[in-house]
Structure 1
Amino acid sequence: MTILTEDFGMRVSVLASSSSGNATYIETPQHKVLVDAGLSGKKLNDLLHSIDRDLKDIDSVFITHEHTDHCRGVGVLARRYPQLTVYANAPTFAALPRSVGELPPDQLRVFDRGAALDLGDLDVESFGVSHDAAAAQFYQFQHDGKRFAIVTDTGYVSDHIEGTIRDADALVMETNHDLEMLREGPYPWSLKQRILGDFGHLSNEDGANAIMDVIGLKTKRIYLGHLSPHNNIKALAHVTVANMLKAQGLAVDHDFKILDTDPAIADPLFTVGA
C-alpha cells in the first residue's frame, strides 16, 4: 500500500447502505479502511473502482455485527488479501455466520465495545448499539481533529452514543423505515415488532430526532442510511428528516447538508470537515 506524504485530510465514501448490504470507505494518508463488508467481493471492488480505489489497497475492515448485510464479504476479503486486518469484538467474531467461511486467525484483532484504537493518523472509537445481534457496535473515526461517525442498526440512540458523536463533522444516521409503510407493509407482525422495538431499527422520525440531539456547529454532512427497500423511499426519508429539522429552526442546506445513500451506487468521496 502506498503511504502518501501530503495530508489531504480524511476522505469518506458511503459505498452502499441499505438493509441488503452495507460498506463505507475511509482513507487518510496512511490508511484505507472499510466499515463493514456486507456485499460480495466483486461488488465491493466494483464500488471501490467507481471512486477510483481498489480492494488490494485496503488495510483494515471494521465489522459492526454478524448480520450478513454487514459481513457477507469479509471472509473472501480476508482470505484473498493477507495484508488486511479484521477488527470486531469477540462475541461478533464468534457469531459470524458459517457462510463467511474461515477467517485467517493471524488477521483478526479483537476490538471491544467502548474501546479506542490508535492507528497513527487515524483514531477509532467503538460504541455499543441496541440491536438483536451478539454485541453490535459502531464506530467514530478521527483524523486531525475531524470526526466521522456511523450509527445504524439500533432501536434507539442512547445518551452515551449521543455524547460520543455530538458535533461530529459528518455522520451516517439510520433512517430505516417509514412508520406507515412498515405498519401497512407485507412483513409478518412478529418482524414488524422486531423492527419497531428497542433492538430493531430507527424510523425516519427517530433518525431526525437523534440528529437534532447531536448536530453541532461543526456538523456539515448528514447521510441518511440503512433504508429498507420494502418500508421506505429515499425521497420520503429525506423530506421527513429535512422538514423536522427545519421545524426546529435548523438551517438545512445552508449550515449543513442532508445527503442520501444508495444500496448499489457509491457516494462521491468527500473530505471530512471541508
Structure 2
Amino acid sequence: MSLRFSVLASGSTGNAIYVETDNQRVLIDAGLSGKKMEALFEKNDLDPSSLDALFITHEHSDHIKGAGIFARRYQLPIYANAKTWNAMDAMLGKLSPDQKFHFEVEDTKVFGDMDVQSFGVSHDAAEPMFFTFAHGGRKLSVITDTGYVSERMKGIVGEADAYVFESNHDMNMLRMGRYPWSVKRRILSDLGHVSNEDAAHAMADILDTNDKPTSIYLAHLSKDNNMKDLARMTVKQTLEERGYQEGGKSLKLYDTDPDRPTALTTV
C-alpha cells in the first residue's frame, strides 16, 4: 500500500500536483493551459484520463487556468469550497452540474482508499485552502499561498512523511526588485506569501513535533524574487540553526520547477 505524488508544476506561472494510490488518482489545481498540463503528465508517463478528481485550492489564475478545459476534456469532478466556486465559476467555462462538488474548509473526505483533509490558509482569495492526503499510514501535506503559517496550520500538516511547502521569495530580492510597492506590500502581508526564512522557521516548528524521516519540496518560488539555490541555501541554513541537518535518512530537501515535474515519488 503506497501513496505517491509528483509536483507537476510549481511557481508564479502555474501550479499542479498529482497524487495517487493504487486505486485513486487526483490532481490539486490545474494552473497551466490544457496543452501544458498534458505535456507535464506525459513527462512522467501519467495518464490524465485516469484521474478521479480535481481539487481547487483557490481561484487565482495560476491555480485554475486549465481547470475548466481539463475537467471537460476528461470528465473530471471538481471539488472546491462554496466561496471559491462563487469566485471562479465563470472563469472555468461551461461545466455540467454533475462535475461541481463542494469540499468545505476544515473538512475530511474519503476518496476510495485516500483520506483528504482540507484546511484554511491566509491569502488574498475568496476562501483559500490546502490539503493533506493520508493512505496506509503515510501522509503528504501540501501548503502554499499563505502569508504566514499559524499554529493551527502547523498542527494540521504535521506528522507528515512529505511536505510540499511554500518558499516564495527572498526578502532582499523582493525589496530591491522591480515590483511596485503596492505589490511588494501585498506579498509581504499576512494575505500574501511566506519568505524563504519564514518558511524554514515554520518547517522547523513542524519538525519539532515530527520524529519520522521527512522530505520537503520547496514550492511556489517567485520567478522574479527568488532562485532555487537561494531558497534551498536559506532553508537549509535556517533548519541547521534549529538543529536539523539535511541529508541521510532524516531530512531531505527537494526543488520544484514551473515547467518540469518532479519524479513520481512514494511517500
Aligned 8 A contact 1:167 1:219 in 2:
no
Residues 99/120 of structure 1: CA separation in 2 closer, same or farther (3 Å cut): closer
- 1:121-270 correspondence runs (5 A): 121-215=113-207, 216-254=210-248, 255-270=250-265
Aligned 8 A contact 1:68 1:97 in 2:
no
Of residues 70, 79, 85, the one that matches 1:93 is 85
Amino acid at match of 2:254: L
Of residues 21, 27, 30, the one that matches 1:34 is 27
Task: Give the Cα–Cα distance (whole angstroms) in 1 for the partners of residues 124 and 214 of structure 2.
Answer: 31
Amino acid at match of 2:110: D
Q: CA deviation at 1:59?
A: 1.2
Task: Give the Cα–Cα distance (whole angstroms) in 1 for the partners of residues 31 and 194 of structure 2.
Answer: 19
TM-score by length of 1: 0.94
Higher alpha-carbon deviation: 236-245 or 48-57: 48-57
Q: CA RMSD in A?
A: 1.0
Summarize deviations over 1:42-88 as a string: whole Å, max 9, x none: 11111111111011111111100000000111100111122x21110
Q: Are 2:98 and 1:106 aligned?
A: yes
Match of 1:17 in 2: 10
TM-score by length of 2: 0.97
SS of 2:140's partner is strand
Task: Give the Cα–Cα distance (whole angstroms) in 2 for the partners of residues 189 and 160 of structure 1.
Answer: 30
Task: Give the Cα–Cα distance (whole angstroms) in 1 for the partners of residues 78 and 89 of structure 2.
Answer: 15
Q: CA deviation at 1:120?
A: 2.4
Match of 2:266 in 1: 271
Amino acid at match of 2:227: I
Task: Give the Cα–Cα distance (whole angstroms) in 1 for the partners of residues 79 and 45 of structure 2.
Answer: 24
Summarize deviations over 1:140-197 as a string: whole Å, max 9, x none: 0000110001110000011111111112100111010000000000000000000000
Moved over 3 A (4+): none
Task: Give the Cα–Cα distance (whole angstroms) in 2 for the partners of residues 166 and 47 of structure 1.
Answer: 29
Amino acid at match of 1:117: K
Q: What 5-or-longer segments of structure 1 have no aligned partner?
A: 1-6
Task: Give the Cα–Cα distance (whole angstroms) in 1 for the partners of residues 77 and 9 of structure 2.
Answer: 21
SS of 1:96's partner is helix
Summarize deviations over 1:237-269 as a string: whole Å, max 9, x none: 000000111112212112110101000000001
Task: Give the Cα–Cα distance (whole angstroms) in 2 for the partners of residues 149 and 60 of structure 1.
Answer: 18
Match of 1:46 in 2: 39
SS of 2:234's partner is helix
Task: Give the Cα–Cα distance (whole angstroms) in 2 for the partners of residues 55 and 182 of structure 1.
Answer: 36
Amino acid at match of 1:162: K
Give me the identity figure in percent: 50
Q: What 5-or-longer segments of structure 2 have no aligned partner?
A: none
Aligned 8 A contact 1:174 1:202 in 2:
yes
Aligned length: 264
Match of 2:60 in 1: 67
Amino acid at match of 2:264: L
Q: Are 2:74 and 1:81 aligned?
A: yes
Residues 219/161 of structure 1: CA separation in 2 closer, same or farther (3 Å cut): farther
Task: Give the Cα–Cα distance (whole angstroms) in 2 for the partners of residues 241 and 103 of structure 1.
Answer: 41
